[in-house]
Chains A and B, each alone.
Chain A
Amino acid sequence: MTFTFNGLAQIAVYFGLIVLLTKPVGLYLNAVFEKKNTWFERVLHPVERGFYWVSGVKEDEQQDWKAYTVAMLIFSVAGLLLLYAIERMQGVLPANPQNFAGLDPALAWNTAVSFTTNTNWQNYGGETTMSYLTQMLGLAFHNFTSAAVGIVLAVAVIRGFVRRSGKSLGNFWVDLTRCILYILLPICVVYALFLVWQGVPQTFNGYTPVTSLEGFKQTLALGPVASQEAIKMLGTNGGGFFNANSAHPFENPTPFTNLIEMLSIFTFGAGLLYFFGKVAGNLKIGWSLFGAVSFLFLAGAVITLGAEQQGNPLLATVHATNAPLVQIDQGYHEYALAQPGGNMEGKETRFGIASSTLFATITTDASCGAINSWHDSFTPIGGMIPMLNIALGEIVFGGVGSGHYGLLMFAILSVFIAGLMVGRTPEYLGKKIEQQEVKMASIALLILPLSILCFSAFAVVYSHGVSQIANPGPHGLSEILYLYTSSTGNNGSAFGGIAANTPFYNWTGAFAMLVGRFGFVIPIMALGGALAGKRIAPVGPGTLPTSGGLFAALVVGVILIVGALTFFPAYALGPIVEHLLMLSGKSF
C-alpha cells in the first residue's frame, strides 16, 4: 500500500463536504415528503395537481404496504414495457441521426430491466447503439423514475418504522410525483447547465467529423448529453451516454465536474439518514447510522487508494532487460507533482489515482455504477473493494433509497442479534422486533447472495459463461462474480472486459437485476408494514440503546461478519489469490 498526502486529502475534503450537505438535504426531503411548503411550491403545485387530475390520483388516499408495493410494481412494469418498445422500434422513430437499428430482444430486455431497476448495467456502447430519442425518451425517463421509486420506497419504509399507529405508509403516486417535481427535476436543470459550462455537450446535431493538425481523422460523438448526465449521477443510475461513462471527457470533463458528480452520488443517501432521524424524533438515531457507514466508506476508500497507488509490480519485473522502464513507486514528493504514478491502466490523466479510486469507492458504496476508470484494470485488491461494497448491499450512504432500506434491515438484524446475546426482547425505535420482522429481514438478507453466488456458480461451469471472459486466470472468476454482484445489487458498474452481450448473460443478468430490486424490496416493505401497526413502548432500563458509538459499532460488525462469511470463499478464489500470484510475479 502506498499513500500520497494529496490522495488522503481528497478523501477527507470530500467527506467533509458530505457531512456539511447532510442536514440541509435531509431537511429538504422532510419538507417534500411531509408536504410542507418548498421553494418550488408556487410554480410547480399546479403541475402537480394537473398530473393527479389526469391520472386519477386521489391525493389524500392512504396506502398500506401492500397497496404501496403493488402501485410501485405496476408503475415499474408500465415503464419497463415502454422502454422495451422504444428500443426495439428506434430504427423507425425520429431523432436518430446515426440511423441506429432497433435492438435485438435479449439486449433490449436486459437494458429495459436494467434501467427500470436503477441498475444501468450496459451490455452496449451508448454512442454506437442508442439513438438520441432512445437516450432521452427511454433512458433518461427511467433515470428519473427509478431514482424516485428508490427514494419513495425508503421514505415509505421509514414511515413504517416511525409511525405511531395505523397501517398507512403514504401514497405512492403522490410521493413519486413530488419527488420528481420538487427534488430531482429542479436540481437537474441547474446541474445540467453547470455541466455544459464545464464542457459537456447538449445538442441534437449529429456526430461531427474533424481532421487534426496532422491530418488524423476523427468523428466526435455528440448528443443531448448534459441533461442525461445530471440525472444519471443525481439519481445514482450510472448509465453512461457514452461507453466510457464518466471517464469520457464529454461526460466528465474536469476535476471540478468529477467532484460534483461524486457529491451528487452520496447527497441523497446521506440526507435520508438525517431525514430518518428527524421523523423518528431523535436525530442521534440517524447520525449513529451515519457514523457506521462513514467508517465503511473511509476504510474502503483508503484501501482502494493504497492498492492503486502501489501499482502493478508486474509492469516493473517483466521489462527487466531495459529497466527501469516504468516508475511505479516514486513517493509523493516533488515527482508526484509531475505524474500520478501507480496503476494508470484504464485511468484518465486528469483524475489520476486518487480521484479515480475515490470515485470507484463511492459509486459502489451507493447503487450508482457510473465509472470514471475501468475497475477491470484495477489491481486485485483495488478491484475487490468495489465488488465487496456492492455485495454488502450498497448500504454505505446508499444512493437513492435502496441502500437506505438495506441499512435499516441491518439495523433490525443488529438489535435482534444483540437481543439474543443479552437475553432481552429486541426493540428498535421503541417497537418490538418479533418473528415477522426478523423473518422478512432474513429473506431480504439472503436473497442477494443467493442470486450472486448461484448465478456465478452456474456461469463458471457453463462453457459459454467462461468463454466470454476477457482476462484469464483468477481474474476471469472476478469478472463473472462482479457481473452478477453488480446486476443483483442494481449497481451497473462492471469488470468491463467480459463480453456479456450474449443471450445467456443478457437473460440471466436481467433476472438477477429483477431479483435484486423486487425480491429485496418486497420483504422490506412487508417489514415496514409490520412495524407500522405496532405501538411504541416507552424506553425502560432494559432497552438496548440504538444510538451512539456502541450501536454504530454493532451495525458495522454485523455488516462485516455477514459479508465476510458469505463472500470470503468466493473472493479467496478470485481477487485474493490473484493478489498473491501478482506479488509472486505470475501472469496468465
Chain B
Amino acid sequence: MTTTTTTPTTEAATEALPQRTILQLVGRFVRPAIGLTILFTILLGIFYPLAITGLAQAFFPSQANGSLVYKNGQPIASAIIGQDWTQPQYFHGRPSATTYAADSSGGSNLGPTNSALLTEVQKNTDLVRKENPDVPDTTPIPVDMVTSSASGIDPDISVAAAYYQIARVAKARSLTQDQVRALIDSHIQGRFLGIFGEPRLNVLALNQALDKAQGK
C-alpha cells in the first residue's frame, strides 16, 4: 500500500511526496499497532480465558465454581471464604471490616497510630471477653482475634484463637474440653513444606466437624 504510483509531472511529484511519507509511516507504525491490538485482544481476551475455563471446568469443576459446600442440597458456603459466626456452639472467625461481605472484599486500612484502630481493637477485645466468660481475664487474647483481616473474609483462625474458644464451645455443646481440643488438633493445617504460611484452622471445616461429631 505504500507503493502509490506517481505521475511524471513535477507538479504531481511534489504533492505526492508528503502523502507517500505519511502512508509509509502508517504502514510501519499504525497498521501493526492496530492489527496486533485486535489480534491480541481476540487471543488473550477471548480465547485464553475461554480455554482456561473449559479446562478448569473439565478437570477441577468444584474449585472452578468457588469450592461450594452443600448441605441438604443447598449451598451453605464456599470452603475457602470466611463467614460471620456468632452462636456460642460454633467457633468464631476474625473481625471483618466488611462484616464478611463476599461480594465487596477489603480491610479496615486503619493506620497504626489512628485512634479509630485502638477503639476498634478495644471493641473487639470487649466482645471476645464477653463471649468467652470462662476464660480468665489474665489470659492473653491472640492478636488475630481482635484485628481485622485483609480480605474481610478470612476463612481461618490461628491455633491459639481456636484454643481460646474451647471452653465456650464445649459448654454450649455439652462436650468435654478435651474432646473439643482433640477435634481442633486433628484439623490444624500446617505450613506449606513446613516453611511457608502459618499453621491455622479453617473455621467452617471445624464447625462442620463439630456438628458431625454430634450427629447433626
Contact = CB atoms under 8 A, between A and B. Distances in A.
A149 to B, nearest CB: 11
Interface in A158-187: 173, 176-177, 180, 185
Given A78-B34, A211-B74, A319-B122, A203 B48 contact: no
A136 B195 CA distance: 34
Nearest to A328: B143
A137 B157 contact: no
A199 B159 contact: no
Nearest to B122: A319
B209 to A, nearest CB: 12
A213 B207 contact: yes
A75 interface: yes
Nearest to A54: B35
A256 interface: yes
A327 B110 contact: no
Interface residues of B, number: 108
Interface centre among B86, B147, B155, by most chain A C-beta atoms within 10 angstroms, is B147
Given A82-B41, A250-B80, A255 B197 contact: yes
Interface string A128-141: 10000000111011
Contact of A473 (B103, B113, B137): B113
A125 B48 contact: no
A210 B67 CA distance: 12
Interface string A9-21: 1100100000000
Contacts of A227: 48-49, 52-53
Interface string B37-77: 10111011110110111011101100111111001001111
A218 B197 contact: no
Contacts of B211: 213
A349 B122 contact: no
Nearest to B51: A189
Contacts of A376: 109-111
B40 A349 contact: no
A250 B112 contact: no
Contact of A220 (B49, B53, B78): B78
Interface in A393-428: none
Interface string B4-39: 000000000000000000000001111111111101
Contacts of B28: 61, 67, 71
B117 interface: yes
Interface in B69-93: 71, 74-87, 90
A154 B71 CA distance: 54
Contacts, number: 417
A380 B116 CA distance: 16
Contacts of A188: 48
B39 A55 contact: yes
B142 A339 contact: yes
A319 B125 contact: yes
A351 B198 contact: yes
B59 A346 contact: no
A71 B117 CA distance: 50
Contact of B104 (A128, A201, A214, A250): A128
B105 A337 contact: no
Central interface residue in A197, A328, A345, A496, by most chain B CB within 10 Å: A345
A208 B66 contact: yes
A317 to B, nearest CB: 9
A57 interface: yes
A378 B112 CA distance: 7
B66 A214 contact: no
Contact of B110 (A128, A221, A379, A471): A471
B150 interface: yes
A127 B81 CA distance: 15
A446 interface: no
A278 interface: no
Contacts of A256: 192, 196-197
User: Size range of the interface on A?
Assistant: 35 or more
B118 interface: yes
Contacts of A259: 192, 196
Interface stretch (A22-30, A240-248, A285-293): A240-248
A451 interface: no
B76 A211 contact: yes
Contacts of A203: 53, 56-57, 64-66
B115 A587 contact: yes
A349 B64 contact: no
A209 B59 CA distance: 24
Contact of B200 (A198, A209, A349, A578): A349
Contacts of A136: 45-46, 49
B199 A337 contact: yes
Contacts of A372: 150
A322 B36 contact: no
B22 to A, nearest CB: 14
B196 A355 contact: yes
A311 interface: yes
Closest 5 CB pairs of A and B: A255-B197, A55-B35, A352-B198, A471-B111, A247-B150
Given A212-B84, A311-B143, A587-B114, 16 more contacts: A13-B195, A56-B31, A74-B30, A140-B48, A188-B48, A196-B64, A210-B68, A244-B153, A254-B192, A345-B107, A349-B200, A352-B198, A372-B150, A380-B112, A474-B113, A581-B113
17 contacts: A54-B39, A138-B45, A185-B48, A202-B52, A202-B53, A203-B65, A212-B77, A213-B77, A220-B78, A220-B81, A226-B64, A255-B197, A318-B122, A345-B117, A348-B150, A471-B111, A475-B114
Interface of A: 6, 9-10, 13, 51, 54-57, 61, 67, 70-71, 74-75, 77-79, 82, 125, 127-128, 136-138, 140-141, 144-145, 173, 176-177, 180, 185, 188-189, 192-193, 196-205, 207-214, 216, 218-222, 224, 226-228, 242-244, 247-250, 253-256, 258-259, 311-312, 314-315, 318-319, 322, 324-328, 330, 335, 337-352, 354-356, 371-374, 376-380, 470-475, 478-479, 495-497, 578, 581-582, 586-588
